């Protein structure tokens, strides 16, 4: 027993969690024969059968259930240890690896992460951007501490994660000053036929905008579609078209771009989430981000 191989124990535990060799092999990124061999090696080391077949299904034996209980305690304790130590290298500086869904505006990201950078114990931040599915996969392997997204993780996601709502915001419409002055008096009716830059059709905010346009009986002319919100705003500054951004960053948009406000609506809501593998957030920098988001970033204006 002194020579128990904990990798073998992890493979056994994963098979028990996933309900079979095939799904466990996929999660572990190993071949099925390799996982089967590891389980057999553990059984030989323990001198007991851990699984038995019932039809086409693997079920735990009595000894297997006992080993599974101990394995659960071992890996739960190990994960708690990693969470406690995570982000604290020698010297005491916090490290925070953040994944940002590519649909989240960069100005929102900046406002959300600023408390972690400028706090009493500033964190060293590594920021990655990508599709939510890719970021959640990195979250599962602890390559990321948290993912910032405009949508909660879907229930179908195989990774066990928790969605923490950071806040929500109404929407403000912007344009260059001349166009904004012309459209402002009759907003939102003035948007009918007006040139507009929009997010791509696969985003939640695009769907929300189109539903609102329909409810208001307006049909803007689509002048451009953008996947990157920062690029959309840059084009909005340089073109004769209207664009939308969260009201929570209205001030930052006005300071960063030579545009003026056309109008606002509270009917188009943008929500932002911190997604983590923790039910209760323990990382000090993540806790600072969520606290500031709820009291300052999304608490100052109810657009």
Q: What is the pLDDT of residues 197-229, one digit of tens each?
A: 999 998 889 999 999 999 999 999 999 999 999
At the topology level of CATH, where does 6-85 sit? Arc Repressor Mutant, subunit A (1.10.10)
Which residues, listed in sequence order, are joined to residue 163 by a DSSP beta bridge?
275
3-state helix, strand, coil in the chain (%, to 5): 45, 25, 30
* Average pLDDT score, the chain: 87
Q: pTM for the complete prediction?
A: 0.65
Kind of pairing, strands 162-175 and 221-226? unpaired
pLDDT of 91 > 80? The answer is: no
Q: Which CATH superfamily is domain 95-166+274-297 in?
A: Periplasmic binding protein-like II (3.40.190.10)
Predicted local distance difference test score (pLDDT) of residue 101: 93
168-271 shares the fold of 95-166+274-297: yes
Q: Where are the domains of the chain?
A: 6-85, 95-166+274-297, 168-271
Predicted local distance difference test score (pLDDT) of residue 120: 65
The DSSP secondary structure of 103-167, one letter per residue, reads TS-HHHHHHHHHHHHHSSS--EEEEEEE-HHHHHHHHHTTS-SEEEESSPPPTT-SS--EEEEEE
154: exposed, middle or buried (Cβ count in 10 Å: 0-12, 13-18, 19+): exposed
Predicted local distance difference test score (pLDDT) of residue 300: 52
Predicted local distance difference test score (pLDDT) of residue 29: 81
Helix or strand holding residue 287 (H, E): helix 284-292
CATH number of 168-271, picked from 3.20.20.210, 3.40.50.10330, 3.40.50.800, 3.40.190.290: 3.40.190.290
CA 159 – CA 155 distance, rounded (Å):
9
């Amino acid at each position: 027993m002194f020579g128990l191989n904990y990798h073998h124990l992890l493979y056994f535990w994963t098979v028990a969690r996933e309900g079979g060799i095939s799904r466990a092999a996929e999660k572990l990124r190993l071949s099925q024969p390799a996982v089967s061999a590891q389980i057999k090696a553990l059984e030989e080391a323990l001198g007991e059968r851990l699984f038995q077949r019932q039809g086409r299904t693997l079920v735990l034996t009595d000894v297997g259930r006992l080993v599974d209980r101990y394995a659960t305690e071992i890996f739960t304790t190990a994960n708690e240890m990693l969470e406690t130590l995570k982000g604290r290298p020698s010297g005491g500086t916090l490290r925070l690896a953040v994944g940002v869904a590519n649909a989240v505006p960069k100005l929102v990201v900046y406002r959300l992460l600023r408390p972690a950078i400028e706090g009493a114990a500033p964190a060293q931040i590594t920021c990655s951007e990508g599709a939510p599915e890719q970021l959640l996969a990195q979250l599962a392997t602890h390559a990321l501490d948290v993912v910032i997204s405009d949508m909660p993780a879907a229930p179908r996601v195989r990774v066990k994660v928790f969605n923490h709502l950071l806040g929500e915001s109404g929407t403000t419409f912007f344009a260059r000053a001349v166009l904004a002055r012309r459209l402002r008096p009759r907003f939102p009716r003035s948007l009918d036929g007006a040139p507009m830059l929009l997010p791509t059709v696969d985003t939640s905010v695009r769907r929300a905008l189109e539903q609102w346009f329909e409810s208001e009986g307006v049909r803007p002319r689509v002048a451009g579609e953008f996947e990157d919100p920062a690029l959309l705003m840059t084009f909005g500054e340089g073109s004769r078209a209207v664009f939308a951004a969260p009201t929570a960053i209205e001030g930052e948009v006005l300071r960063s771009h030579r545009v003026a406000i056309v109008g606002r609506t509270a009917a188009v809501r943008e929500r932002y989430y911190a997604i983590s593998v923790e039910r209760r957030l323990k990382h000090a920098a993540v806790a600072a981000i969520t606290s500031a988001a709820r009291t300052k970033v999304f608490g100052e204006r109810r657009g």
